[in-house]
């Protein structure tokens, strides 16, 4: 009996341990099946009004007022070069000369044929008046005269084109030919750049382009002259935008010896469009979504919990890294400026 009782006690003990183990396993599995909810941490700042000076500002590149690639209009071997890189030339100045022996010979032949055709036409005209030549003979002589004249004009032009000249005044920046080079019509001879005045070429965003008008005076600062400010005039505003909704503009600038501007330099145009005013300004980094459909998160206390609320906003002018909020927010609200990508509207957050 004592042995049986010990066995029963042992079985009860083992059964109790098994029951406890099974219950703990079920509890742990239930806890494991429940989702882990993480509360995101966000950084906030109080929205305040700021003093805003609204400026138009856009970066661009300085370009020459005029740049011309001079090309050959004749064929032959270059026998003379009259310029070198960096030379300043006037309009009409000789740049190069092509061998003229054959061209001059063709010119003399064409001139002789034209002179003969003129004499033949005059003689047949007189004979026709005396009824000693037919109308067809006179017409043939006049046609021969026109053909001879056309050949003479072509030969004269070929001879003239053997002396290649500058079409504009400026500085020679490229000269790809040398004495002895064989050229054809269309061969580049030189590139001439006129920087007596320059233009700033830039692309203006569509939100800003309507604030600029032809003839407006603007300030321009070149990166290479941080202490100098140039005054330019808006000379062109495109009526057609590009694929990213920007509009090309040009600003004419006088050039000076004190601060010479060169083609290819970077510069920034700026122009004040309004007097200073106060506005609600927020960091651009706080914006969720695109500029066309912007929204932000603010934090509020609801039932004792700190929650994030998403609000749609209407944006205005930009000022550096900040942007104006025209509507959708109030002064004093706590704006989420960091961590908003982890927040959800109505969800709890830890605000810092």
Instruction: Report the pLDDT averaged over residues 36-56.
Output: 79
Q: Read off the pLDDT band of 3 (50, 70, 90).
A: low
Instruction: Report the pLDDT averaged over residues 75-85.
Output: 93
Domain range list for the chain = 1-36, 41-53+276-351, 56-64+191-272, 100-161
Tokens 């004749």 — which residue? 74
pTM, two decimal places: 0.59
CA distances to 153, 250, 252, 272, 352 from 218, rounded to whole Å, are: 51, 11, 10, 9, 43
Q: Read off the pLDDT band of 114 (50, 70, 90).
A: very high
Fold exhibited by the domain 41-53+276-351: 2.40.420
Q: What CATH class is the domain 100-161? A: mainly alpha
Residue 22 has pLDDT above 80, yes or no: no
pLDDT at 76: 92
CA distances to 23, 35, 37, 90, 229 from 31, rounded to whole Å, are: 13, 9, 13, 90, 70
pLDDT at 89: 94
Which of 346, 348, 312 is CA-nearest to residue 327? 312
DSSP class of 333: -
pLDDT digits over 288-335, tens only? Answer: 887 778 999 999 888 888 888 899 998 887 777 888 888 888 888 999
Q: Read off the pLDDT band of 112 (50, 70, 90).
A: very high
pLDDT at 322: 84
Residue 240 has pLDDT above 70, yes or no: yes
| Contact status, residue 343 vs residue 299, Cβ threshold 8 Å | no
Mean pLDDT of the chain: 85
pLDDT digits over 182-224, tens only? Answer: 999 999 999 999 998 899 999 988 878 888 889 999 999 999 9
Residue 7 has pLDDT above 70, yes or no: no
pLDDT digits over 116-161, tens only? Answer: 999 988 888 888 888 887 888 888 888 999 999 999 999 999 999 9
Instruction: Report the pLDDT averaged over residues 230-259.
Output: 90
pLDDT at 15: 62
Q: At 230, list the tokens.
A: 């140039």
pLDDT at 121: 87
Lowest model confidence (mean pLDDT) among 76-90, 100-114, 249-263, 284-298: 284-298
Q: Which CATH number fits domain 56-64+191-272: 1.20.1250.20, 2.40.30.170, 3.40.1370.10, 3.40.50.720?
A: 2.40.30.170
Three-state secondary structure call for residue 83: coil
Residue 98 has pLDDT above 90, yes or no: yes
Lowest model confidence (mean pLDDT) among 30-39, 232-241, 266-275: 30-39
Residue 27 has pLDDT above 70, yes or no: no
For residue 111, what are the contacts with CB-CB under 8 A and spacing of at least 6?
A: 152, 155
pLDDT at 6: 63
Three-state secondary structure call for residue 19: helix
Task: Report the alpha-carbon distance of residue 100 to residue 182 in Å, rounded.
Answer: 13
């Amino acid at each position: 009996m004592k042995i049986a009782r010990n066995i029963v006690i042992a079985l009860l003990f083992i059964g109790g341990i098994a029951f406890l183990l099974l219950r703990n396993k079920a509890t742990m599995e239930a806890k494991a099946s429940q989702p882990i909810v993480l509360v995101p941490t966000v950084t906030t700042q109080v929205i305040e009004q700021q003093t805003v000076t609204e400026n138009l500002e856009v970066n661009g590149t300085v370009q020459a007022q005029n740049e011309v690639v001079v090309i050959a209009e004749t064929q032959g071997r270059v026998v003379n070069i009259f310029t070198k890189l960096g030379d300043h030339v006037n309009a009409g100045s000789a740049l190069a000369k092509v061998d003229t022996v054959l061209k001059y010979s063709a010119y003399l032949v064409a001139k002789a044929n034209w002179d003969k055709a003129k004499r033949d036409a005059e003689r047949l005209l007189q004979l026709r008046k005396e009824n000693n030549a037919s109308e067809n003979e006179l017409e043939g002589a006049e046609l021969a005269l026109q053909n001879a004249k056309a050949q003479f004009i072509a030969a004269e032009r070929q001879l003239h084109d053997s002396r290649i000249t500058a079409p504009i005044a400026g500085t020679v920046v490229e000269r790809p030919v040398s004495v002895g080079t064989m050229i054809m019509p269309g061969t580049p001879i030189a590139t001439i750049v006129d920087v007596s005045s320059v233009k700033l070429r830039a692309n203006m965003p569509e939100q800003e382009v309507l604030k600029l008008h032809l003839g407006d005076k603007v300030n321009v600062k070149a990166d290479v002259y941080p202490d100098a400010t140039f005054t330019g005039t808006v000379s062109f505003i495109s009526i057609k935008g590009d694929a990213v909704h920007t509009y090309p503009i040009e600003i004419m600038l006088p050039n000076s010896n004190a601060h010479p501007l060169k083609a290819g330099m970077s510069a920034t145009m700026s122009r004040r469009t309004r007097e200073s005013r106060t506005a609600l300004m927020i960091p651009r980094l706080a914006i969720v979504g695109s500029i066309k459909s912007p929204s932000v998160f603010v934090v509020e206390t609801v039932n004792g919990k700190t929650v994030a609320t998403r609000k749609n906003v209407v944006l205005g002018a930009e000022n550096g890294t900040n942007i104006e909020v025209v509507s959708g927010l109030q002064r004093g609200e706590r704006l989420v400026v960091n961590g908003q990508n982890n927040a959800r509207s109505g969800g709890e957050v830890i605000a810092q």
